[in-house]
Amino acid sequence: MPAADFAPLAEALASDHTVVTTDPRGIANSCLDDPQQDSTPELRADDIAAILDNLDAESADVFGSSGGAVTGLALVSRHPTRVRTLVAHEPPVLELLPDAAAQRAKTEEIIATFHSDGVPAAMAKFMANAGFDVKPEGAPVVSEPSPDQIAHGTRFLAHELRGTARYVPDIAALTRGPAKVVVGIGAASGGLLTYRTSVALADQLGTSPVEFPGDHGGFIGQPAEFAQTLRAVLAG
Protein backbone atom coordinates (compact mmCIF):
# COMPACT_ATOMS: atom_id res chain seq x y z
CA MET A 1 0.00 0.00 0.00
CA PRO A 2 1.44 3.42 -0.92
CA ALA A 3 2.02 6.11 1.69
CA ALA A 4 -0.67 8.28 0.08
CA ASP A 5 -3.36 6.03 1.56
CA PHE A 6 -2.15 6.96 5.05
CA ALA A 7 -2.26 10.74 4.38
CA PRO A 8 -5.61 11.37 6.16
CA LEU A 9 -4.41 9.53 9.28
CA ALA A 10 -1.06 11.33 9.16
CA GLU A 11 -2.82 14.70 8.88
CA ALA A 12 -5.06 13.86 11.83
CA LEU A 13 -1.96 13.13 13.95
CA ALA A 14 0.22 15.97 12.71
CA SER A 15 -1.14 18.57 15.13
CA ASP A 16 0.81 16.99 17.98
CA HIS A 17 3.17 14.47 16.36
CA THR A 18 5.90 14.57 13.74
CA VAL A 19 4.64 12.01 11.24
CA VAL A 20 6.64 10.25 8.54
CA THR A 21 4.97 7.94 6.01
CA THR A 22 6.77 5.59 3.65
CA ASP A 23 6.26 3.85 0.35
CA PRO A 24 7.40 0.24 0.85
CA ARG A 25 10.18 -0.87 -1.50
CA GLY A 26 8.89 -1.12 -5.05
CA ILE A 27 5.58 0.62 -4.32
CA ALA A 28 4.64 4.05 -5.74
CA ASN A 29 7.68 6.36 -5.46
CA SER A 30 10.02 3.77 -3.93
CA CYS A 31 12.48 2.76 -6.65
CA LEU A 32 14.37 -0.53 -6.81
CA ASP A 33 17.93 -1.39 -7.77
CA ASP A 34 16.82 -4.99 -8.35
CA PRO A 35 13.14 -5.29 -9.34
CA GLN A 36 13.36 -9.09 -9.12
CA GLN A 37 14.43 -9.13 -5.47
CA ASP A 38 11.69 -10.33 -3.14
CA SER A 39 10.47 -7.86 -0.51
CA THR A 40 10.66 -9.63 2.85
CA PRO A 41 9.63 -8.26 6.24
CA GLU A 42 13.29 -8.29 7.27
CA LEU A 43 14.36 -6.17 4.28
CA ARG A 44 11.50 -3.73 4.81
CA ALA A 45 12.42 -3.48 8.51
CA ASP A 46 15.97 -2.57 7.56
CA ASP A 47 14.52 0.05 5.19
CA ILE A 48 12.66 1.66 8.09
CA ALA A 49 15.83 1.68 10.20
CA ALA A 50 17.66 3.35 7.31
CA ILE A 51 14.94 6.01 7.08
CA LEU A 52 15.31 6.70 10.81
CA ASP A 53 19.06 7.06 10.24
CA ASN A 54 18.43 9.49 7.40
CA LEU A 55 16.16 11.54 9.68
CA ASP A 56 18.73 11.47 12.53
CA ALA A 57 15.99 9.88 14.64
CA GLU A 58 17.29 7.65 17.39
CA SER A 59 13.87 6.04 17.85
CA ALA A 60 10.23 6.42 16.91
CA ASP A 61 6.74 5.22 17.64
CA VAL A 62 5.75 2.97 14.73
CA PHE A 63 2.32 2.18 13.29
CA GLY A 64 1.84 -0.46 10.64
CA SER A 65 -1.27 -2.14 9.31
CA SER A 66 -1.58 -5.57 7.70
CA GLY A 67 1.70 -6.32 5.91
CA GLY A 68 3.09 -3.11 7.36
CA ALA A 69 2.36 -4.47 10.82
CA VAL A 70 4.45 -7.53 9.94
CA THR A 71 7.24 -5.15 8.90
CA GLY A 72 6.90 -3.52 12.32
CA LEU A 73 7.25 -6.86 14.08
CA ALA A 74 10.44 -7.54 12.12
CA LEU A 75 11.68 -4.04 12.96
CA VAL A 76 11.32 -4.64 16.70
CA SER A 77 13.07 -7.99 16.39
CA ARG A 78 15.98 -6.67 14.30
CA HIS A 79 16.33 -3.11 15.65
CA PRO A 80 14.70 -3.15 19.11
CA THR A 81 16.22 0.11 20.35
CA ARG A 82 14.82 2.06 17.39
CA VAL A 83 11.17 1.52 18.41
CA ARG A 84 9.45 3.03 21.44
CA THR A 85 5.97 1.63 20.80
CA LEU A 86 4.91 -0.53 17.88
CA VAL A 87 1.21 -0.58 17.09
CA ALA A 88 0.76 -3.63 14.86
CA HIS A 89 -2.74 -3.29 13.38
CA GLU A 90 -4.12 -6.63 12.18
CA PRO A 91 -0.86 -8.33 11.14
CA PRO A 92 -1.51 -11.40 8.93
CA VAL A 93 0.84 -13.69 10.86
CA LEU A 94 -0.68 -16.82 9.37
CA GLU A 95 1.97 -19.14 10.77
CA LEU A 96 0.48 -18.67 14.26
CA LEU A 97 -2.87 -20.17 13.23
CA PRO A 98 -3.87 -23.81 13.82
CA ASP A 99 -4.59 -24.08 10.06
CA ALA A 100 -1.23 -22.59 9.04
CA ALA A 101 -0.51 -25.38 6.54
CA ALA A 102 -3.84 -24.79 4.79
CA GLN A 103 -3.15 -21.07 4.70
CA ARG A 104 0.25 -21.68 3.10
CA ALA A 105 -1.48 -23.73 0.41
CA LYS A 106 -4.01 -20.95 -0.19
CA THR A 107 -1.20 -18.41 -0.52
CA GLU A 108 0.48 -20.56 -3.16
CA GLU A 109 -2.85 -20.92 -4.98
CA ILE A 110 -3.27 -17.13 -5.02
CA ILE A 111 0.24 -16.65 -6.42
CA ALA A 112 -0.34 -19.35 -9.05
CA THR A 113 -3.57 -17.61 -10.07
CA PHE A 114 -1.65 -14.37 -10.50
CA HIS A 115 0.83 -16.02 -12.85
CA SER A 116 -1.90 -17.75 -14.87
CA ASP A 117 -4.77 -15.24 -14.83
CA GLY A 118 -3.38 -11.88 -13.72
CA VAL A 119 -3.78 -9.41 -10.87
CA PRO A 120 -7.60 -8.98 -10.68
CA ALA A 121 -8.29 -12.72 -10.48
CA ALA A 122 -5.57 -13.29 -7.89
CA MET A 123 -6.64 -10.35 -5.76
CA ALA A 124 -10.25 -11.59 -5.82
CA LYS A 125 -9.03 -14.90 -4.35
CA PHE A 126 -6.84 -13.05 -1.85
CA MET A 127 -9.71 -10.88 -0.64
CA ALA A 128 -12.12 -13.82 -0.42
CA ASN A 129 -9.64 -15.83 1.66
CA ALA A 130 -9.10 -12.78 3.88
CA GLY A 131 -12.81 -12.82 4.70
CA PHE A 132 -14.09 -9.92 2.62
CA ASP A 133 -17.35 -10.24 0.73
CA VAL A 134 -15.99 -9.72 -2.76
CA LYS A 135 -19.45 -9.78 -4.40
CA PRO A 136 -21.91 -8.30 -1.91
CA GLU A 137 -25.53 -8.26 -3.06
CA GLY A 138 -26.36 -5.06 -4.88
CA ALA A 139 -22.74 -3.96 -5.17
CA PRO A 140 -21.97 -1.68 -8.12
CA VAL A 141 -19.96 -2.99 -11.04
CA VAL A 142 -16.29 -2.53 -10.21
CA SER A 143 -14.30 -0.51 -12.73
CA GLU A 144 -11.11 -1.79 -14.28
CA PRO A 145 -8.09 -1.40 -11.99
CA SER A 146 -5.84 1.56 -12.71
CA PRO A 147 -2.28 1.10 -14.03
CA ASP A 148 -0.96 1.96 -10.54
CA GLN A 149 -3.21 -0.67 -8.95
CA ILE A 150 -1.99 -3.27 -11.43
CA ALA A 151 1.63 -2.29 -10.75
CA HIS A 152 1.19 -2.43 -6.97
CA GLY A 153 -0.74 -5.70 -7.21
CA THR A 154 1.95 -7.22 -9.41
CA ARG A 155 4.66 -6.25 -6.96
CA PHE A 156 2.65 -7.57 -4.02
CA LEU A 157 1.72 -10.90 -5.58
CA ALA A 158 5.05 -11.62 -7.27
CA HIS A 159 7.48 -10.41 -4.61
CA GLU A 160 5.79 -9.62 -1.24
CA LEU A 161 2.93 -11.97 -0.45
CA ARG A 162 4.80 -15.23 0.15
CA GLY A 163 7.46 -13.74 2.43
CA THR A 164 4.93 -11.75 4.44
CA ALA A 165 2.46 -14.62 4.81
CA ARG A 166 5.18 -17.02 5.98
CA TYR A 167 6.77 -14.66 8.49
CA VAL A 168 7.09 -16.19 11.96
CA PRO A 169 7.22 -13.55 14.73
CA ASP A 170 10.07 -13.87 17.22
CA ILE A 171 7.95 -13.81 20.37
CA ALA A 172 10.97 -13.76 22.69
CA ALA A 173 12.38 -10.70 20.91
CA LEU A 174 9.00 -8.96 20.92
CA THR A 175 8.52 -9.41 24.66
CA ARG A 176 12.01 -8.74 26.00
CA GLY A 177 11.88 -4.98 25.33
CA PRO A 178 12.74 -2.20 25.30
CA ALA A 179 10.07 -1.68 22.65
CA LYS A 180 6.43 -1.97 23.67
CA VAL A 181 4.32 -4.01 21.22
CA VAL A 182 0.57 -3.37 20.98
CA VAL A 183 -1.68 -5.47 18.74
CA GLY A 184 -4.53 -3.51 17.18
CA ILE A 185 -7.75 -5.05 15.94
CA GLY A 186 -10.70 -3.52 14.10
CA ALA A 187 -14.03 -3.23 15.89
CA ALA A 188 -15.72 -4.45 12.71
CA SER A 189 -13.13 -7.06 11.73
CA GLY A 190 -14.68 -10.07 13.46
CA GLY A 191 -15.15 -12.07 10.26
CA LEU A 192 -11.70 -11.44 8.84
CA LEU A 193 -8.67 -13.70 8.77
CA THR A 194 -6.60 -10.93 10.32
CA TYR A 195 -8.89 -10.91 13.35
CA ARG A 196 -7.79 -14.48 14.05
CA THR A 197 -4.12 -13.72 13.46
CA SER A 198 -4.25 -10.64 15.69
CA VAL A 199 -5.84 -12.58 18.54
CA ALA A 200 -3.28 -15.36 18.10
CA LEU A 201 -0.36 -12.90 18.24
CA ALA A 202 -1.73 -11.10 21.31
CA ASP A 203 -2.15 -14.46 23.04
CA GLN A 204 1.47 -15.33 22.29
CA LEU A 205 2.59 -11.94 23.65
CA GLY A 206 0.46 -12.33 26.79
CA THR A 207 -1.52 -9.18 26.06
CA SER A 208 -5.01 -8.22 24.92
CA PRO A 209 -5.63 -6.61 21.52
CA VAL A 210 -6.63 -2.96 21.48
CA GLU A 211 -9.81 -2.23 19.53
CA PHE A 212 -9.61 0.43 16.81
CA PRO A 213 -12.50 1.98 14.87
CA GLY A 214 -13.61 0.30 11.67
CA ASP A 215 -12.34 -2.86 10.10
CA HIS A 216 -9.05 -3.77 8.43
CA GLY A 217 -8.98 -0.38 6.69
CA GLY A 218 -10.32 1.67 9.57
CA PHE A 219 -7.49 4.17 9.28
CA ILE A 220 -8.80 5.02 5.79
CA GLY A 221 -12.52 5.05 6.51
CA GLN A 222 -12.39 6.78 9.92
CA PRO A 223 -9.04 8.56 10.12
CA ALA A 224 -9.98 11.10 12.82
CA GLU A 225 -11.45 8.51 15.17
CA PHE A 226 -8.63 6.10 14.40
CA ALA A 227 -6.08 8.81 15.22
CA GLN A 228 -7.71 9.43 18.59
CA THR A 229 -7.38 5.76 19.53
CA LEU A 230 -3.80 5.67 18.29
CA ARG A 231 -2.98 8.77 20.35
CA ALA A 232 -4.35 7.12 23.47
CA VAL A 233 -2.32 3.95 22.85
CA LEU A 234 0.90 5.87 22.31
CA ALA A 235 0.30 7.96 25.44
CA GLY A 236 -0.44 4.89 27.55
Taking the C-alpha atoms of residue 123 and residue 120, their distance in angstroms, rounded to an integer, is: 5
| Cα dihedral sign, 78-80-82-85 | positive
Instruction: Report in angstroms the alpha-carbon separations of 14 from 10, 79, 110, 126, 170.
Output: 6, 25, 38, 33, 32
| pTM for the whole structure | 0.95
55 and 72 fall within a common domain:
yes
β-partners of residue 52 are none
Last residue of a domain, one of 161, 181, 203: 161
Strands of the sheet containing 60-65, edge to edge, are 60-65, 83-89, 180-186, 210-212
Same domain, 93 and 176: yes
The reply to whether 133 and 16 lie within a common domain is no
Strand pairing category for 83-89 and 60-65: parallel
Are 178 and 92 contained in the same domain? Answer: yes
Q: pLDDT tens digits for 100-151?
A: 999 999 999 999 999 999 999 999 999 999 999 877 565 555 568 899 999 9
Q: Are residues 13 and 87 in the same domain?
A: yes
Give the pLDDT of residue 45.
98
What pLDDT is stored for residue 140 in this prediction?
52
Q: Looking at residue 46, what is its pLDDT?
A: 98
Residues 11, 91, single domain; the answer is yes
Is the domain of 85 the same as that of 8? yes
- Are 207 and 131 within one domain? no
Inter-residue contact 39 to 62 (CB < 8 Å): no
Can you tell me the mean pLDDT for 57-84?
98
pLDDT tens string 166-215: 999 999 999 999 999 999 999 999 999 999 999 999 999 999 999 999 99
Say how many C-beta atoms besides its own lie within 10 A of residue 153's C-beta.
19
Residues 146 and 108 in one domain: yes
pLDDT of residue 133: 85
Structural domain boundaries, residue 58: 3-97+168-235
How many independent structural domains does the chain possess? 2
Q: Which of 143, 161, 179 is the last residue before a domain boundary?
A: 161
Q: Do residue 106 and residue 136 come from a single domain?
A: yes
Neighbour-count burial for 119-135, b at 16+ CB within 10 Å, e otherwise: beebbbbbeeebbbeee
Whether 63 shows a pLDDT value over 60: the answer reads yes
Find the angle CA(18)-CA(67)-CA(125) to the nearest 5 degrees: 140
**How far is Cα 149 from Cα 157, in angstroms, rounded to an integer?**
12
Check whether residue 230 and residue 138 sit in a common domain. Answer: no
If you average pLDDT over residues 221-227, what whole number do you get? 97
Rounded CA Rg of the chain: 17
Same domain assignment for residues 84 and 7: yes
Residues 6+ apart with CB under 8 A from 190: none
- Region for 202 from its dihedrals, namely left if φ exceeds 0, alpha if ψ lies in -120 to 50, beta otherwise: alpha
Domain boundary pick from 161, 189, 212: 161
Q: 186 - beta bridge partners?
A: 212
pLDDT for the residue numbered 144: 82
Residue 34 sits in a domain whose CATH number is 3.40.50.1820
Backbone phi, then psi, for 60, in 5-degree steps? -155, 155
Tens digits of residue pLDDT in 19-44: 999 999 999 999 899 999 999 999 99
